[in-house]
Amino acid sequence: MKSNFLNYIILFFFLLFLNSCQKQNNNAVDFYKIKQEINKLPAYKRIAKWDSLLNLHPDDTLTGYLYFQKGYSYFFMDQNEKAINNFAKALNFFDKKQNKKMTARNYIYLGAAYSSLNEQKLAIKYILKGLNIGTELNDLRIKGRAYRELAHIYYVNETFDKAIDYLNKVIEITKKTGEFSDMIVAYNNLAIIYQDLNRNKKALEYYTKILNLNAEKEMEPYNLMILYSNLGIVTFDIFKDKNKSLKYFHKALDIAQHNNINPAIPYNSIATMYEKLNKLDSAGYFVHKSIKANKIYKKNNYNDLVYLYNRLIQLNLKQNQDTNLLNFLKIRDSINILEQKIISEDNKKTMENNLKLINQQKELNQAVKINNKNKIIFIFIIIMFILGLIISFQFNRFDVLKHKQELVVLEQKILRSQMSPHFIFNVLSSIQNSLLENKPVVSATYLSKFAKLMRQNFDFIQKKHIHLKEELDMIRNYLDTQKFRFKDKFDYVINVDDKLKTEDYLIPPMILQPFVENAIKHGFANIPYKGLITINVLKKDDKICFEIIDNGTGYNPSKKDNKEHALDIFKKRLFFFGKDISESFKIKQLKQGTKIEFCFNLVKA
């Protein structure tokens, strides 16, 4: 009741604001107050407010601001396609009114949204547009925001020298604007990059700079705890000074205690230090402390617990102590069983989709039975000529039903092959390892990609066609996830014909993944060089054609089992799209690697 009353007040003041816009130009403060009130709401409620205000048909300037705020809300919720759509609408209004400042901000957020979709070329293009306008206006805040986004893109793509360069530019701007919170973030990101590069002295230099900025007043307690924990690690790696490192670790623990934060990370870091000093009893003690903290503060955090019990097992083996070894092994195995339950929960939606497909199959079988009965009735009722027509009609209908039934079975096989528990478990394990290596930015990035990949699989399997852009976006997520899992054992390139606008054409869903998976799993197995997958998307007359090329060990058609493989499923699937489509499928053995080719008819969206 209270929230509804507040909403009515906001709308009332906005109506007054719209009325005043017709009489005066001094309305920026009013809009700012309204924006502040709406931004206190959860993101999904904000979107409803922006929509309700847009329905009031305000003038062009306000419409631009409202679309921008709506886009920012979608961006905050990680719904980047919708965010891009609203930022693009806002741009039209700001261009019309020649509002350069808001145009620049739009471009930067548009680039950030494309970056989240892993379309880095577009992301850099739009961010640089915003940066150019900010430079023209000499607006330091706009320039700082652009530099931060560019630094993030280059860090994710491991172009560390450019990431460092842009972060240094952010620092120069914050020195002029006095925004110390932004400076702290920039220093922290530089320290993390230098740790990744094993340049611990430089990392220590930037962590120390953060402390000199009186960070305790500016930083969130959790981030401050991580800062002191990292300082302890870096200090020990450089100076091998246990006492100096312990001061930082104890500071991290004090922050955790006073702010009711899980202290598992500092405890684990202390254990690592003692293990390096070969003080294994002390190391084991602090691993136990980390386990206890995780059990108190985190529920169902099985990955961390498995890692910590493995540490205890390794420490016992180093000490040749068998007393607790069997007990630790039992506890770890029991946690692994619980972890498998979590993986089962992740597959729950897959099972639900499979059940829907099974029910559809039952309905189709029932329809086939009904049609068979109808054929018998018509034989005894209709004269021979009409009977022949009806029989022909029924057989044709039966073929259509059989066709649909086989497609349902194929869709089930595709979903099972793409989202196997083994694949999910391996990816989650890789993300867990990066978390334990203290790479939160990398972990968050790939966890986001993996979550999006699962969501795309669940959504696409229920569709007959999807946009080419959606298929390419999904295969990029899949390839990035596999690259992360296999530690950059391979690279990939996706080339799209300039004649093709990916958002204008439809194709069957999930057609590229089987071949990409084969290249990674079989083609790149045991190769002594870096693998490369090249995907070419071409427009040939009235068809859209795909080429998947790898430089692996080549195509080996021999089978060692009686299972139906992804290639067999794909060939059957192609058959349903027509003879010419089926015949377009070719596998070519190259001097080094394999080339797959196939085409589909152009279908406009």
Higher pLDDT, 85 or 389: 85
Average pLDDT over all residues of the chain: 79
What value does the mean pLDDT take over residues 525-535?
A: 91
Distance between CA atoms of residues 602 and 542, nearest Å = 6
Phi then psi for 297, rounded to 5 degrees? -95, -25
- Domains identified in the chain, total number: 1
Q: Distance of CA 425 to CAs 36, 414, 526, 566, Å? A: 43, 18, 22, 20
Query: pLDDT band at residue 560, thresholds of 50, 70 and 90?
Result: low
Contact residues for 531 (Cβ-Cβ < 8 A; gap 6+): 489, 490, 491, 519, 520, 523, 524, 550, 551, 552
- Work out the pLDDT band at 27, boundaries 50, 70, 90: very low
Model pLDDT, residue 374: 77
- Counting residues of the chain whose pLDDT is more than 90, the rounded percentage is 24
What confidence category does residue 28 fall into, taking pLDDT thresholds of 50, 70 and 90?
A: very low
Comparing 324-333, 510-519, 581-590, which segment has the lowest mean pLDDT? 324-333
584: containing domain: 466-604
CATH number, domain containing residue 529: 3.30.565.10
Which pLDDT score, from 0 to 100, does residue 76 have? 80
581: in domain: yes
148/410: higher pLDDT: 148
Looking at residue 136, its pLDDT comes to 93
Return the CA Rg of the chain.
Answer: 30
pLDDT of residue 195: 85
Task: Classify the C-alpha dihedral 214-216-218-223 as positive or negative.
Answer: positive
Range in 12-21, 236-245, 357-366 with the lowest mean pLDDT = 12-21
Q: Which tokens is 298 given? A: 């985190």
Residue-wise pLDDT tens digits, 360-384: 556 656 766 777 777 787 777 878 7
Sole residue written with tokens 């596999």: 482
- The pair of structure tokens assigned to 338 is 């619980």
More confident residue, 392 or 199: 199
Rounded average pLDDT over 264-286: 90
What pLDDT is stored for residue 425 in this prediction?
A: 62
Residue 48 lies in a domain: no
Alpha carbons 234 and 529: distance in angstroms, whole number:
34
pLDDT at 13: 46
Q: What is the pLDDT of residue 17?
A: 47
- Structural domain includes residue 45: no
CB 89 within 8 A of CB 126: no
Are the CB atoms for 481 and 492 separated by under 8 Å?
Answer: no
What does pTM read for this prediction? 0.47
For residue 22, what pLDDT is reported?
A: 42
**Per-residue model confidence (pLDDT) at position 539:** 92
Position 2 in a domain: no
For the ranges 19-28, 91-100, 411-420, the maximum mean pLDDT occurs at: 91-100
Coil vs helix vs strand at 467: strand
In this structure, of 186-190, 312-316, 345-349, the range with the lowest mean pLDDT score is 345-349
- Give the model's confidence band at 405: pLDDT under 50 very low, under 70 low, under 90 confident, else very high: low
What distance in Å separates the CA atoms of residue 451 and residue 449, rounded to the nearest whole number? 6
| Overall average pLDDT of the 546-572 stretch | 72
Residue range 187-192: mean pLDDT, rounded: 89
pLDDT of residue 450: 79
Confidence of residue 359 (pLDDT cuts 50, 70, 90): low
Region of residue 118 (phi > 0: left; psi between -120 and 50: alpha; otherwise: beta): left
Mean pLDDT on 445-465: 80
Provide the pLDDT for residue 9. 46
Residue 300 lies in a domain: no
Residue 209 lies in a domain: no
Least confident piece of the model among 116-130, 242-256, 283-297: 283-297
Residues 544 and 497 sit within 8 Å (Cβ to Cβ): no
Separation between Cα atoms, residue 350 and residue 409, nearest integer Å: 14
Confidence of residue 60 (pLDDT cuts 50, 70, 90): confident
More confident residue, 335 or 37: 37
Q: Which of 524 and 389 is assigned the larger pLDDT?
A: 524
Q: Within a domain: residue 237?
A: no
Backbone angles phi, psi at 590, to 5 degrees: -90, 170
Give the count of beta carbons closer than 10 Å to the beta carbon of residue 27. Answer: 15
Tokens of residue 599, six digits: 């085409």
Query: pLDDT tier at 54 (50, 70, 90 boundaries)?
Result: confident
> Confidence class of residue 582 from pLDDT cuts 50, 70 and 90?
confident
pLDDT at 108: 92
CA 351 – CA 188 distance, rounded (Å): 43
Share of the chain above pLDDT 70, in %: 76
What is the distance between the alpha carbons of residues 40 and 37, in angstroms, rounded to a whole number? Answer: 5
CB-based contact 170:186 (threshold 8 Å)? yes
Give the pLDDT confidence score for residue 410 in this predicted structure: 56
pLDDT tens digits, 63-75: 888 889 888 888 8
Over residues 525-534, the mean pLDDT reads: 90
Q: Please give the structure tokens belonging to residue 398.
A: 């039966």
